[in-house]
Structure 1
Amino acid sequence: MNITNPTPVQQQAIPHLLEGKDLIIESQTGSGKTLAYLLPLLEKIDPASNRVEAVILTPTHELAMQVVKVTESLIDPSSLKVQALIGGASVKRQVERLKLRPQLIVGTPGRILELIKLKKLSMHYVRTIVVDEADEVLRLGAKKEAEAIIRSALRDRQLAFFSATVSSELRSWASQWVQAVEEKVKVAGDAFTPSGIQHYYVMCDERDKIETARKLYHALQPDSAIIFINDSELIAEVQEKLRYSRLNVEALYGDADKQERARVIQGFRDKRFPLLLATDVAARGLDFPDVTVVLNLELPVSGDHYLHRAGRTGRMGRKGVVVSVAARNELFIIEKFAKRLGIRIVEKELYEGHLINAGNRPSPKPPVNRKSPKAKTQSYSTSKTSPRGSMRKGPK
């Protein structure tokens, strides 16, 4: 994979996991967390085993399939098998595939628990459970399912929680299960987001946000970009307006069916279209290495959501730009995000198709002083036939 040096999170997590320690890891988005837990997990699995030895829980279908894809790039499928168990797919087909005896399961808590209850998936030999994007697992209401899965495994199993943001709720929840080694891995000082990302915002009226986003896209000219909105009910309207402006854009949102979401994700990765319009379903864990620009058409609902959206660019040390389109009454939200995340969000403005620092428009050129030709003098007179008062003054 042309990776020659471990990232900081890999340096800190891998030794603990190889030693069998429980772990809570907080590390920036795009910092290499997947390999940080996947490599030691695969190292410890017995290829000769015909039982499930490890389980990875993810909050979304898309993240589960991404982890499966990374796993498949690392293993010899003739000796080690991985299977995805996600909601929305055929239970019957998944049960049939479990007969192939995979050693590693990756999936969403709801579907995994469903198959445990159906006695189609045994947790008796599971030695390691990883909860990826653990704060999102809690936020989406999968806490009870995750707890039931953990209880179904042996008491001496290893637990690891990974997230870009470890909230007090997550820390309290995880601590009930483990006496964990907790590591906060930060890169480039104290900032939560990678140092290669530049953060900007542009002010406009609420009604002009879509047009402003279109102009920003043309000004930045990215090969690959994501526009984020909050409300999935607005997806169709925003997509139609962007397409009317001749932008090649597809939409990714949670209410779409599994096949449609998979088609859009793969098409975006294959560069069949340069612009992805998405809700926060695309902000968690998904790896789009070619994305250079993230546009917040609607401001995220919290600093953590800002962090995860921003993490879709600038991954693994690459450069990236995040631009938020804000109305005047939203400026305090921008300031709150900057303080919460320890970043500087710079105001910019659009000028003649370019993104410039606010207030730095060039001074208008003085008008050219051209001497006007002297007006010809005209004389007026009245004749006997001219009516009284018909005389007009000539031009000055």
Structure 2
Amino acid sequence: MLKTLAKIGYEEPSPVQKAVIPIALTGADCTGQARTGTGKTAAFAIPILEQLDLDFKGVQAIVLAPTRELSEQVAEEFRRFAQDFDCEVVTVVGGRSMGPQINAIQRGAQVVVGTPGRVIDLMRRGNLNLRDIEFVVLDEADRMLDIGFRPDIEKILRQCPTDRQTLLLSATMPPSVERLALRYMQDPQRVDLSQDGISASETIEQFYATVDEERKLGFLVRLLLKERPQQAIVFARTKRGTERIYKHFADKLPGVAMMTGDLQQSKRDRVMKRFREGSVRLLIATDVVGRGIDISGISHIVNYDIPEYHDDYVHRIGRTGRLSSSERGRAITLVTREQGGQLTSIEVRVNQLLNEYKLPDYEAFQSRGPRPKVNDSRNRGKSWTID
């Protein structure tokens, strides 16, 4: 493992890795809470690979994640750490043909990474047996519970041996996750790095801007022209809102894409591939990409709609702040005058006051004059004006 880590350029463990890996290597159950993007995957992948019986061809570890994208990302990280091991990792998610997944399990895959729904499907078909499981990981447990996976998670855990090791990793630890840990884990040791990670004062500058609802689109145009982001994600709350913003930019700028939960998996894959490659520079999305997308080039997060829950704010801004040590990410949240209470909840959650963001040449309120022209001619054409 040390040889592999040196090969892929790991020099120093992150705080969550430094805290979780020694505990996991003892075989104890552990819950780890840290901001998204702090290296939680390595914190459980490395100790699991160290303890697997590589001579046994059968499923020994299962990792559950809330989304297909996160599952595939986690599996890829596992494979990267396992490049010098005789270990097969299989991803089992919906939206993919079941045949190759079944074949990989039958060939003797030792690690299964997937979404609870597809795992249940394979169990019901008799293609996935959990009797030899020694390690269970619940990755982004809070998000899995948010989207209704609790019954599936409990069904899967009940099929695993009781003497397994269970690791639970999450950016937040609401009561629902605490109850899950209490019921299915044995005296778990707790690692809580949430306060250090959430403030993110060293890597993310956090701002708010007060804008009338009907003026937010124009404000966003001017904001992007001013900031000239390397790569940006604009988060909207609804599919309809996401589509409206996307349509406004799609015919004015190259490198714009949209991501919503009901987008076909093949299209989601293409969008994320282009985003990782850098050909997509502006991604308009719902919270489907608020978790587990590890892309280092994102310089800006814009919360076009303030998150409904303050925990979602933590996950959204975790997409940025991963640039080089000399650069800092920026998170800018648009807030209407009626949403002051939600802004306060966010500030309490991250334990800091957000700075006010202003555009000196832009009137953000209807009462201060006529609505500004949004379709600025500078945005037209094939080249990026946000460069």
* TM-score bin, normalised by smaller chain: 0.7 to 0.9
> Alignment partner for residue 323 of structure 1, among 320, 332, 342?
332
> Post-superposition shift, 1:118?
1.3
> Post-superposition shift, 1:11?
0.9
Identify the residue that residue 180 of structure 1 maps to in structure 2: 188
> Alignment partner for residue 351 of structure 1, among 357, 360, 363?
360
> Post-superposition shift, 1:230?
0.8
CA distance in 1, matches of 2:348, 2:99: 49
Query: Retained in 2: the 8 A contact 1:87–1:111?
Result: yes
CA distance in 1, matches of 2:346, 2:27: 37
Identify the residue that residue 249 of structure 1 maps to in structure 2: 256
Query: Retained in 2: the 8 A contact 1:109–1:145?
Result: yes
Identify the residue that residue 379 of structure 2 maps to in structure 1: none
Identify the residue that residue 149 of structure 1 maps to in structure 2: 156
Matched, 1:224 2:231: yes
Matched, 1:337 2:377: no
Normalising by structure 2, we get a TM-score of 0.87
Counterpart amino acid of residue 183 in structure 1: V
Counterpart amino acid of residue 341 in structure 1: V
CA distance in 2, matches of 1:321, 1:78: 39
Query: Retained in 1: the 8 A contact 2:250–2:257?
Result: no
> Alignment partner for residue 113 of structure 2, among 87, 106, 109?
106
Query: Retained in 2: the 8 A contact 1:16–1:23?
Result: yes
> Post-superposition shift, 1:57?
0.2
Structure 2 spans left out of the alignment, 5+ residues: 1-7, 363-387
CA distance in 2, matches of 1:128, 1:194: 35
CA distance in 2, matches of 1:230, 1:87: 24
Q: For residues 36 and 191 of structure 1, do their structure 2 counterparts lie closer, same or farther at Cα, with a shift above 3 Å needed?
A: same
Matches within 5 A, 1:54-203: 54-76=61-83, 79-178=86-185, 179-186=187-194, 188=196, 191-193=198-200, 195-203=202-210
Normalising by structure 1, we get a TM-score of 0.85
Query: Retained in 2: the 8 A contact 1:216–1:350?
Result: yes
Query: Which runs of at least 4 in structure 1 moved beyond 6 Å after TM superposition?
Result: none
> Post-superposition shift, 1:263?
0.7
Q: For residues 154 and 148 of structure 1, do their structure 2 counterparts lie closer, same or farther at Cα, with a shift above 3 Å needed?
A: same
Query: Retained in 2: the 8 A contact 1:28–1:194?
Result: no
What SS class does the counterpart of residue 173 from structure 1 fall into? helix
What SS class does the counterpart of residue 271 from structure 2 fall into? helix
Matched, 1:277 2:279: no
> Post-superposition shift, 1:238?
1.5
Counterpart amino acid of residue 350 in structure 1: L
Identify the residue that residue 25 of structure 1 maps to in structure 2: 32
**Structure that is richer in helix per residue:** 2
Which stretch has the larger CA shift, 69-78 or 258-267?
69-78
CA distance in 2, matches of 1:281, 1:135: 14
Query: Retained in 2: the 8 A contact 1:55–1:126?
Result: yes
What SS class does the counterpart of residue 195 from structure 1 fall into? coil
- CA deviations on 1:271-293 (whole Å, 9 max, x unpaired) are 01211111101011111111010
What SS class does the counterpart of residue 256 from structure 1 fall into? coil
Matched, 1:13 2:42: no
Percent of paired sites with the same residue: 29
Query: Retained in 2: the 8 A contact 1:225–1:294?
Result: yes
Identify the residue that residue 388 of structure 1 maps to in structure 2: none
- CA deviations on 1:213-272 (whole Å, 9 max, x unpaired) are 121111111111100001013322221112244353101111011111111111000001
What SS class does the counterpart of residue 284 from structure 2 fall into? strand
> Post-superposition shift, 1:74?
1.9
What SS class does the counterpart of residue 106 from structure 1 fall into? strand
Counterpart amino acid of residue 334 in structure 2: V
Query: Retained in 1: the 8 A contact 2:258–2:284?
Result: yes
What SS class does the counterpart of residue 56 from structure 1 fall into? strand
> Post-superposition shift, 1:186?
4.1
CA distance in 2, matches of 1:248, 1:265: 12
Which stretch has the larger CA shift, 277-286 or 236-245?
236-245
Identify the residue that residue 214 of structure 2 maps to in structure 1: 207
Structure 1 spans left out of the alignment, 5+ residues: 354-396
Identify the residue that residue 374 of structure 2 maps to in structure 1: none
Measured on the aligned residues, the alpha-carbon RMSD in Å equals 1.8
Q: For residues 77 and 110 of structure 1, do their structure 2 counterparts lie closer, same or farther at Cα, with a shift above 3 Å needed?
A: farther
> Post-superposition shift, 1:43?
1.1
- CA deviations on 1:343-394 (whole Å, 9 max, x unpaired) are 22111211249xxxxxxxxxxxxxxxxxxxxxxxxxxxxxxxxxxxxxxxxx
